[in-house]
Amino acid sequence: MLVFLLGVGLLLVVFWTAYRLFNTPPADALGLTFTGNPKSDPPLAKVGTQVAWLIFRIAYLVIMSVAGSLISNKGINLYFSALQGAPVQLFSRHRSEPPTDDLPAK
C-alpha cells in the first residue's frame, strides 16, 4: 500500500508542478523581457537557451508522470498479490466444464 501511495504522491507533485508551470505567464516562464527595442532585447542565443530549458522541464514532467504511474501500478500489483486466496471473478468469458471427479469410472 505504501508503494501505491508513493506513486500517487509523485503524481500529485507532477500535477502541481505542471499546474504552476502552465499558469505562469510566458515572459516569467522563459525569464525574458522583451521591450521591442532590438538593442535592449535579449540575444537569440539566450532565447534559444531559455526555450530549450522550458522544453527540458516539460520532458521532465512527462518522465515523472510515467514514473509515478509505474510506481502506482506496481503498488497495486503488490497489494493484490499479497491478498490471500484466488481473485473473485463475477463473469467468466469461457464456460467452465462440470467437475469430473464425481463421475463413476468406466
| Total count of domains within the chain | 1
Where the chain has pLDDT below 70, the residues are: 84-106
Question: What's the confidence (pLDDT) of residue 66?
Answer: 93
Amino acid in the structure at residue 20 = R
In a domain, 93, yes or no: no
In a domain, 9, yes or no: yes
Three cell numbers at 24?
A: 505562469
Q: What is the DSSP code string of 2-53?
A: HHHHHHHHHHHHHHHHHHHHHTS-HHHHHT----S-TTTSPPHHHHHHHHHH
Question: What's the confidence (pLDDT) of residue 33?
Answer: 73
In a domain, 104, yes or no: no
In a domain, 95, yes or no: no
In a domain, 67, yes or no: yes
Domain residue limits at 13? 2-82
In a domain, 92, yes or no: no
pTM exceeds 0.75 for this model: no
